[in-house]
Amino acid sequence: MDGMAGDALSDLLRKVRLTGATFFDIRAQDPWAVCSPAPSSILPKILPGADHLISYHVVTAGRCFARIVGKEAIAVEAGEVVVFTHSDPHIMSSNPELAADPPTADVLEIASASQMPFHINYVSDGSISARLVCGYLACDAQPFNPLLDALPPVIKAGDVKGDAGWLGQFIRLAVSEVAEKRAGSETVLTKLSELMFVDVLRRYVEALPPQHTGWLAGLRDPHLCKALALIHDRPEHNWTVEALAKEAALSRTVLAE
């Protein structure tokens, strides 16, 4: 890939005011299930005024299942991360059939007022069957964010061997920060989560099949990146294929395809 076609992905992410906060260190023993809180209860604590919430769950030990409520579950192993990009209510659990209620408001208040990461223990006795580092990213979806619109609701990435490049490093660093509780850990986790999200997006775009069409596929094409940047920079403009082709120095046929 040609530097992600002029690094259009970085250009877009630079404008969405991405930030992260409110981290959870979860230790669980079978059977267990956790439901995501409503975006309205999390967003004011992360980025007041933002209108889009992204949730992520990194499995650092064991395995579990992740699913959007009402959808099919996917297995997530240690060394993998699952990202919910569209604020859909979802459940993390030891069994795909288990249900769970969203956390109550008082739990969220205690968590937000505590030193991060906030530790949640679902172990009564015996061994831990899964451990997760969970967090949230907030960003602006308005006035127009084609990146968010084009993403699938769930993205899974990583390597169960734990050596998946930068993502593997993120998992090891996140575990270290959670365990050591050093000064500045919340800030470090915030920056790590932002970098992790960028890496997950990059992996997703790079793995798209050659025949894939749409906005994300355009990030791989240096000839289309200028057109994508124009749309993102001036969303209020009434763009036509002809106008885009002219400003991006492309033929109308190439752009239409």
CATH number of the domain that residue 169 is part of? 2.60.120.10
Instruction: Report if residue 123 sits inside a domain.
Output: yes
92-106 mean pLDDT: 82
Question: Hey, what amino acid is at 253?
Answer: T
Indicate whether 173 belongs to any domain: yes
**Residues 167 and 54 occupy one common structural domain:** yes
243's tokens: 């106008």
Q: What is the pLDDT of residue 5?
A: 46
Residues with Cβ within 8 Å of 253's Cβ and at least 6 positions away in sequence, in order, are none
163 and 85 in a common domain: yes
Residues 231 and 142 in one domain: no
173 and 247, same domain (yes or no): no
Mean pLDDT of 234-238: 72
Q: Both 190 and 250 in a single domain?
A: no
Of the chain, the percentage scoring pLDDT greater than 70 comes to: 67
CA 227 to CA 243: how far, in whole Å?
10
In a domain, 214, yes or no: no
How do residues 41-59 score in pLDDT, each as one tens digit?
777 766 677 778 888 998 9
Question: Radius of gyration of the chain from Cα atoms?
Answer: 20
Residues 46, 204: Cα–Cα separation, whole Å: 25
Q: Are residues 56 and 171 in the same domain?
A: yes
24 with 135: CB under 8 angstroms?
yes
Output the pTM of the full model: 0.78
Query: Do 171 and 234 lie in a common domain?
Result: no
Residues in the chain: 257
Residue 49 maps to a domain: yes
Residues 194 and 225 occupy one common structural domain? no
State both tokens at 50. 């933002």
Domain count of the chain? 2
For the chain, counts of helices (H) and of strands (E): 10, 9
Is 191 part of a structural domain of the chain? Answer: yes
* Nearest 10 degrees: Cα torsion 235, 238, 244, 246: -130
Residues 104 and 129 in one domain: yes
2 within a domain of the structure (yes/no): no
Q: Does residue 64 sit in the same domain as residue 174? A: yes
Once rounded to an integer, what is the mean pLDDT over residues 96-111?
72
In a domain? residue 95: yes
pLDDT score recorded for residue 4? 46
Is 120 a residue whose pLDDT tops 60?
A: yes
Q: Would you say residue 234 lies in a domain? A: yes
What mean pLDDT do residues 96-115 have?
Answer: 69
Structural domain harbouring 184:
15-207
Shared-domain flag, residues 187 and 117: yes
In this structure, are 74 and 34 located in the same domain?
Answer: yes
Taking alpha carbons only, the member of 201, 239, 234, 193 closest to residue 220 is: 201
